[in-house]
Every structure is written in C-alpha cells, then in structure tokens.
Amino acid sequence: MTSATSPVIPGFHPDPSVCRVGKDYYLVCSSFEYFPGLPVFHSRDLVNWTQIGNALDRPSQLDLPPDTPSSGGLYAPTLRHHDGRFWLIVTNVASGGGNLVYTATDPAGPWSDPVRVPGVPSIDPDLAWDEDGTCWCTYAGVAQVRLDPSTGEILGEPYPVWSGTPGATAPEAPHLYRIGDHWYLMLAEGGTERGHSVSIARGPSPSGPFEPCPANPILTHRGTNKPVQNTGHADLVQAPDGSWWMLLLAVRPQGGTPGWHVLGRETFLAPVNWEDGWPVIGEVGVERAELPWPVAAPTPEPERDDFEPGDLAHHWISLRDRPTELVSTKERDSWLTLRARGASLDEPDAVLLGRRQQHLAFRARTLIDTAEGSGGLAVRLDEFHHYSIESAPGGRLSVIARIGSLRTITAEHTLPAGPVTLFVRTGPAPEPHDARTGPDSLVFGFESADGTATELATLDGRYLSTEVAGGFTGRVISLYAATGTAHFDWFDYAPLVR
C-alpha cells in the first residue's frame, strides 16, 4: 500500500471524465470560456496526472463568440474509448454551440473537428455502447436517445429515464456503465454547491428500467464539517487489478462563514468497493489515502516559462480565443508579446495568457516591458472580479481592484522607465477564530534589480471567490495587455507553505 494526497488535479479542473486503455488512464475536464478547451491528462496511477494537451486547440473546433459569458462555453465532457478510438462529447453553451462529438486515435491529439448533435437538447451528454454496438447518449434531465456518434444523427426519439431522487434539484452529469450483470446509471444531483451529491441506479438494459440504490446518495458531504465540500459530478473507472475508483469534483472552502473557495472545483479521487451489487464510496479528503499499487513521486509543474519561440505549454489558457497576431512568442526573441484588444480586463475581449491557481498559497512573478503600451499581472475570476498590478509607460505602476460594479486604483507608484518585475502572492493565513475572516489575502508589488520586494497593496481574497462572484470557474493567474503592446520576458509560479 502506498499513500497519496487529494485533490489529484488541483485548481480549476471540474467535471472530470476518465477512461482507461490498458495501463493508461486519460481524463478531461470542463474549460468554460477559456481557449484552448478541454485539458487532457494522462496517468499510470490515478494520482499523478500530466497534461498532455487540450482537445480543442483550433478555432475550427471551438467557437466562443465575444458575447460568451464567463462560466459559459464548454460544459461537462464525457471521454470514452471504443472500437480503437477515443470519443469525446461535450456541450458548448455559447450561442451557436450545442452538443458536439470529437474523435482521436491519440488522446494527446490531434482531435477531429466537431460533429454536431442537434437532436440532444440538454447539457452533460454521456456516451455508452452496448454489446451490439449501439451507442446510447444520456444527458441531464435525465433523458436518453440512441445515437450515431459518427454523424450526430439520433436514432429514434429521446425518452425520460431515471432522474434521481424525487424532489432533488438538478439531476445532471449522467454516466451509463455495463458492470457485471447490470447496467448502472450514475448521476449528480442537488446542485453543484454545498448540496451536491452522487446517486446511482441499476437495470437490466441501457434504457432500464432502473432501480435506485437504497443507500442513495452514495456520496455527499452536505451538512458536514469536512474540509472538502460540494462533492459530486463523478465518473467511475476500473484499474487493471480489478479495483474500482471514482474521480469527482469537490472544493476546499477556506476562512470563516460561509466559507469561500477560490481555486474553483477540483478533481479528487476516492476508492470504490462493491457490496450487494452496489458501489460504496470511500473517504474523499485532503488527508493521505492508501492505494494498492506503487505511486510515483509527483512530477512538478514547470515553475518557470522563458517563452522560447514555439508552442506555448499546454496549461496556458486565454479568453475565448487566441489570435496569433495578438499572442506570440516569435515577435521578440524569448519574450511573450500580447497586443491589447479591449480597454481593460473588464472587457470580454481582453487579451491575456493565464494559468490556473493550483495552490491555496502561491507566488507568481513576471518581468514586463510596457514601453509600447500597458499591461500587467492579474488574478482573475471573471470580468467583474479581478485584481491586478499594471505597468504603464514612464514607470507608472497601479494596483487595480474590480469587485462587481466597483473599480478602484488601490495603490500607485512611479519607477524609472524600463522593464520591471511584478509579483503577486498570498498573504499570511487568515485568523481561524473569526467567523468573518476571508479565505486569504493577495499581496501585489514589484522587485528591484537586487531582488528587494516592495509591497504596494494587500487585498481581501474573498472577493475573488465563487461564493462572491458566482459561476463555475476558479482563479486564473494572468499576464495581460491593457493598451498597446506589452512584452513579458519570463513568468514563474511557485507554491508557498501555509
């Protein structure tokens, strides 16, 4: 037995869907308004996951118009392997989107252009194949239809199937499995907030009739004081040794009442045992869990990017699109160049390059040159909730806070003109005995050439949380251009001990 901690994919990585091919596991997550879409991960032990690509990395695959709202875009993919190919179905809730199917022989890509599925009217679609090769698409509601995934044509009329606990809200995220002598239909219900849960039913065929598990919900943390909450939206996978496991989303609230989660919904792992033909879910938490196989030492994420010419690392994301004329590593040798398109981060067409915040305590830095415009380093949740330190020509620095309808400059400073190192980090741990305490604080400042750090402002982190801003995403640490052109020599990110 070896130990591992959870979450297994920290930060804004919600709605995990997983499949196994041989000894290899592959997983995708929702990406909402960010481009490229649907990060793809690989693992050999279900604990250490490496991002190997993004399924939707071409404009022909992913259309996110400028009016796509934050927390719009790509919802709840399902990833499956069937007949030698990987199949991926997802809902694009942006205007003109709908349900889309993509295929690949290699999950690292390239993935196909989309096949549209106009006959599936809801979100969270699932794919499952029976012994005859018939493909069944089950979706939020919960309803089902036979589907030709290669053409997107539905074969017959959709019909309702088991939709969870009577009276429970938001039956969604269905997944259909053939396990032993039964077909199992698993879904999430209760909403993706504190009431989130997982329930399951079984039946003799893909279309039922389905008998609910007498122990439903088989997983929920609602009404508990556990450090992990909002458990739900799960998928099952069997390991080569025959054991079963669940990948699911959950959050880690911090601070006082009501508790704020700032990293978004993260991917957690839980063991699954079977009793009387029903799954029994083990503990989901941040403590160390036991696994029956060796777990490799974690592979750290790249902590520094020097923006060498070529493709950007897979974890970098942008808002809605990434035109090469606005985001480039080729214009200035070993620098990232961003050209502004909107007036500020308040605009939906802001030009930024970001990475998900993956640790409760972190530090990020960048060296920026704004002789040709203005730009900076931001912590973003959406257009209405973000903090930034911004550099402008002439050495002018500003710390800007946008909270809902309020936008204010909280600090200003002037330096000699030229490139400057900007930083943001989390502040000291919050006071644990004050129920009003926020989850963290964010400290913005700059570093001089000798490495001396000067702090300009400390801002309350609760205003960059889902409980304040709403929506489905988490914080993204972003480099951005506000006006003209901004150049970035390097970026680094590191966890801090908290």
Considering only the C-alpha atoms of the chain, give the largest distance between any 2 of them, rounded to a whole number of Å: 74
What is the C-alpha to C-alpha distance for residues 344 and 327, in angstroms, rounded to an integer?
16
- The whole-angstrom separation of Cα 362 and Cα 288 is 21
The residue from 15, 33, 383, 460 that is catalytic is 15
**Which string of b and e fits 330-340 if b means at least 16 CB within 10 Å?**
eebeebbbbbb
Q: Which residue has tokens 């069944």?
A: 136
Owner of token pair 């000067």: 454
How far is Cα 13 from Cα 268, in angstroms, rounded to an integer? 10
Q: What are phi and psi of 461, to 5 degrees?
A: -75, -15
The tokens for 79 are 């990833």
Q: Tell me whether residue 67 is one of the annotated catalytic residues.
A: no
Amino acid at position 325, single letter? E
- The reply to whether 172 belongs to the active site is yes
Closest by CA to 124, choosing from 113, 137, 139, 109, is 139
Strands (E), 124-224: 126-129, 135-139, 143-148, 153-154, 159-160, 172-179, 182-189, 197-203, 211-212, 219-220
Is 142:174 a contact under the CB 8 Å cutoff?
A: yes
Cβ-Cβ contacts under 8 Å for 297 (sequence gap 6 or more) = none
Q: Which of 60, 48, 55 is nearest to 74 (CA)?
A: 55
Cα dist. 471→9, 33, 365, 377, 411 in Å?
Answer: 20, 11, 27, 22, 28
According to DSSP, the residues that pair with 373 across neighbouring strands are 484
Which of 33, 57, 172, 305 is catalytic? The answer is 172
Residues with catalytic roles: 15, 172
